[in-house]
Amino acid sequence: MRRLLAHPWKLAGLAILAVAAGVLLYQIALFLMVLWYSVVPPRMTTFMSAEQGQLRSADSDAELRYQWVPYDKINANLKRAVIASEDSNFMNHSGVEWDAIRKAWEYNRRQSEKGSGRRRGGSTISQQLAKNLFLSESRSYLRKGQELILTYMIETVMSKERILELYLNVAQWGQGVFGAQAASRHYFKVDAAQLSAMQAARLAGMLPNPAYYDKNRNSPYLQSRTRTISQRMRQVVIP
């Protein structure tokens, strides 16, 4: 009888060990990818792949607008504007700002109770990079947990300059538009190296909802947000 009872428990233990081993191998594979991206520009991210799939469902010949440019070919105005807009403490934190996450969660809960669709993110640039490179737009505690693990991997392996360089090159700035160079050409017909302060502030203001602002470029909120970011840029230190 004892042998019969022990048998299913042994199988359950082996199954748990197999799952744990699979999770560990997956994390190791992700870490190797982080190491790769610390020196090699990505050709395609998870977000890019998803966007390309959506575009090609309507047009089989659709292509993304994406061109990698090195850090020194991106105007300092855009670096300052994005930090001012997305992560003012970028140079000082270790990847995650727990207090910002708590405040965003409380704000979103209050908005939900009011029936409002407004939401605030508490993610740092490093977290956004982890999501853009490897994850999907789905919202779940499991996905958020993986994002946090990836964020600490990225912060451990990469310099702040490399993190910002990657982020500026893979961030989405409109329908099928990815990266600073493609965005600069798409909106202002200039290279990323030639962006003015106001142009950079406008691009940074679009980041929370680029597809919407691509179609609504004269939004009063975007204009107000652009002015606010342009004022904050002066105090920003960049890597």
Q: Read off the CATH number of the domain in which 110 is found.
A: 1.10.3810.10
Residues 32 and 67 in one domain: no
pTM reported for the whole predicted model: 0.88
Q: What is the pLDDT of residue 119?
A: 54
Cα 168 versus chain centre, distance? 10
Residue 108, pLDDT score = 66
State whether 5 and 88 are in the same domain. no
Q: Which residues of the chain have a pLDDT value below 70?
A: 1-7, 104, 107-108, 111-122
pLDDT for residue 97: 84
Per residue, the 3-state secondary structure of the chain, as one string, reads CHHHHHHHHHHHHHHHHHHHHHHHHHHHHHHHHHHHHCCCCCCCCHHHHHHHHHHHHHCCCCCCEECCCCHHHCCHHHHHHHHHHHCCCCCCCCCCCHHHHHHHHHHHHHHHHCCCCCCCCCCCHHHHHHHHHHCCCCCCHHHHHHHHHHHHHHHHHCCHHHHHHHHHHHCEEECCEECHHHHHHHHHCCCHHHCCHHHHHHHHHHCCCHHHHHHCCCCHHHHHHHHHHHHHHHHCCCC
- Structure confidence at residue 89 (pLDDT): 92
Range of the domain at 17: 1-37
Same domain, 117 and 64: yes
What is the pLDDT at residue 111?
65
Segment 45-67, tens digit of pLDDT? 988 998 898 888 888 888 899 99
**pLDDT at residue number 159:** 97
Q: How many domains does the chain have?
A: 2
Instruction: Say if residue 138 is in the same domain as residue 212.
Output: yes
Strands 172-174 and 65-66: unpaired
Residues 5 and 78 in one domain: no
Q: Give the number of residues written for the chain.
A: 239
Using alpha carbons, select from 203, 154, 47 the residue that is nearest to residue 124. Answer: 154
**Same-domain check for residues 173 and 85:** yes
59 and 158 inside one domain? yes
pLDDT at 7: 65
Looking at the structure, do residues 11 and 95 belong to the same domain, yes or no?
no
The pLDDT of residue 98: 79
98 and 205 housed in the same domain: yes
Answer yes or no: do 129 and 11 share one domain: no
In this structure, are 115 and 230 located in the same domain?
yes
* Whether residues 97 and 8 fall in one domain: no
